[in-house]
Amino acid sequence: MTYCVGMMMDEGLVFLADSRTNAGVDQINSFRKLTLFERAGDRVLVLLSAGNLAITQAVIAILKRRLDAEDGTGNLMAAKSMFDAAELVGEALRFVYARDARALKDHNVEFNASFVLGGQIRGEAPRMFSIYAAGNFIEATDDTRYFQIGESKYGKPIIDRMITATSSLKEAAKCALVSMDSTIRSNLSVGPPLDMVLIKTDTLSVHHHVRINVDDEYFQTIRIRWGRALRQAFADLPDPPFA
Amino acid sequence: MTYCVGMMMDEGLVFLADSRTNAGVDQINSFRKLTLFERAGDRVLVLLSAGNLAITQAVIAILKRRLDAEDGTGNLMAAKSMFDAAELVGEALRFVYARDARALKDHNVEFNASFVLGGQIRGEAPRMFSIYAAGNFIEATDDTRYFQIGESKYGKPIIDRMITATSSLKEAAKCALVSMDSTIRSNLSVGPPLDMVLIKTDTLSVHHHVRINVDDEYFQTIRIRWGRALRQAFADLPDPPFA
């Protein structure tokens, strides 16, 4: 499995992805699940992927191939809006579905793939989309500031508690890492190294792009101190009156 | 959906269940998902249920009916061990499967049901089982001290961090409520009132059985103080060096 999260605050966007893939527990590998499309000053797009790796890699390969297409059809770098870009991802997904779905069905493999696409294209505000296997998608709004794909439930409570429109990029990055830590602890199929991208609103470029390994000093600090703080907070809660 | 958790510590057992059921979002009801079988001094058994309510209610009705069976067949109160009791729950499940599964399939309804059975029967130590829809089951061991059924993922990280064999009954009860709080906040299909049962090892009776409503003072305190403590702990974590 996978855990990826994208968050959209007034200050900018934060994306975090793990890199573990597994086909059963005896075939575990590391693959990048965060893909960056950037032309500084014009646009910056981040695509997070979850699901069947053959499908998501095919979608990304198609999107990359189309960057060089002579007629510009399906080119993310030519999309006029983030909405158009989300449509292009959906179209690529439908292309792969048309090509592979029947063969996968013959082998009882579900057509399972999902994406989070976020970023900013010059002329509009930052936007973020959650794209389903059918190629349809929803957009983040003022009320819903984040999307998760993959093993999303373990790390959801902390985001629900912490992230609002006015959260800073720093807070959101920290929260994404705490959310990832909870997921990694509870689910073997999610693991480092992690890929994180931060984008500041209206800069139209990547503010920070970092690969976080298991021995990364900051991530280790977060893991240890968060665990310790939780144990302390838990100990400080009053005991039940009935026990 | 549902969220139920059973924990087995050296000091005893803790069980917690929500009571929300839903068939779609427009048909939400409250049903008890914790069933108690007790003959003080001889045995105390708690059965937590999740899944299709018609199935789980049928299983429990069958188990209750068999308490009065003249020949004692399938009677939980006559089971010689917790293992035998788990087998009886599995058998009741298979009885319902044989009766209902084909009709459910005709209506594209999955045969979805799972149980946690825990307790103690005189002559053996406390034991706890997780029983699947097929009627097979696994038993908690020294290494795995808790079972969850239903919407288990949101509330799993806090249990993974806090519960060990030496956790006290008070700590476990507190942890179960914090775990439930995280689940309720992140998933609409889980909700109060809650049912909680505490059993002390070798007492062969219920130590405490409490129904916790949404306005319960202790649960409210936990919810408010845990949220506040998490926000404080989060704020105290160092900011990322790269943001």
User: CA triplet B30, B33, B39: central angle to 5 degrees?
Assistant: 135
Could you tell me whether strands A127-131 and A113-121 are parallel, antiparallel, or unpaired per DSSP bridges? Answer: antiparallel
In this model, does residue A27 exceed pLDDT 70? Answer: no
Report chain A residues whose CB lies below 8 A from the CB of B171.
239
CA distance B166 to B173: 13
Residue B242 lies in a domain: no
Put simply, the answer to whether B174 touches A237 (Cβ < 8 Å) is yes
Q: Give the sign of the dihedral formed by CA A88, CA A92, CA A98, CA A102.
A: negative
Domain contains B38 = yes
Q: Are B145 and B163 in contact (CB under 8 A)?
A: yes
Contacts with B71 (C-beta within 8 Å, 6 or more apart), sequence order: none
Report the chain A residue with the minimal C-alpha distance to residue B11: A243
Cα of A147 to nearest chain B Cα, Å = 13
Task: Reply yes or no on whether the pLDDT at A191 is more than 80.
Answer: yes
- Tell me if B236 and A242 make a contact (CB, 8 A cut-off): no
Q: Which residue has the higher pLDDT, A192 or B237?
A: B237
Query: Which pLDDT tens digit goes with each residue over A47-93?
Result: 999 999 999 999 999 999 999 877 778 899 999 999 999 999 999 99
Evaluate whether residue A8 is within a structural domain.
Answer: yes
How far does A135 lie from chain B, in Å, by closest CA?
24
What's the Cα-to-Cα distance from B98 to each of A6, A18, A223, B109, B182, rounded to whole Å? 46, 43, 49, 15, 37
State the count of interchain CB pairs (< 8 A) between A and B: 130
- Cβ within 8 Å, pair B175-A234: yes
Phi-psi group of A135: left, alpha or beta (phi > 0 → left; psi -120 to 50 → alpha; rest → beta): left
SS3 A143: coil
Contact B196, B210 (CB under 8 A): yes
Start-to-end CA distance of chain A, whole Å, equals: 39
pLDDT category of residue A30 using cuts at 50, 70 and 90: low
Q: What average pLDDT does the segment B214-240 reach?
A: 94
User: Can you tell me the ipTM of this complex?
Assistant: 0.86
| pLDDT score of B243 | 67
**CATH number of the domain that residue A199 is part of:** 3.60.20.10
Q: Quick check: is A174 in a domain?
A: yes
Does B103 score more than 80 pLDDT?
yes
Q: Is residue A9 part of a domain?
A: yes
Q: Residue A196: give the domain boundaries.
A: 3-236
Residues of B in contact with A227 (CB under 8 A): 161
- Any domain includes A243: no
Would A159 be classed as within a structural domain? Answer: yes
- The tally of domains found in chain B comes to 1
Tell me if B241 is assigned to some domain: no
**Of A91-95, A107-111, B73-77, which gets the smallest average pLDDT?**
B73-77
Peptide bond into A126 cis (omega under 30): no
Residue whose structure tokens are 């990048």: A32
Are A157 and B162 a contacting pair at CB < 8 A? Answer: no
Mean pLDDT of B189-195: 87
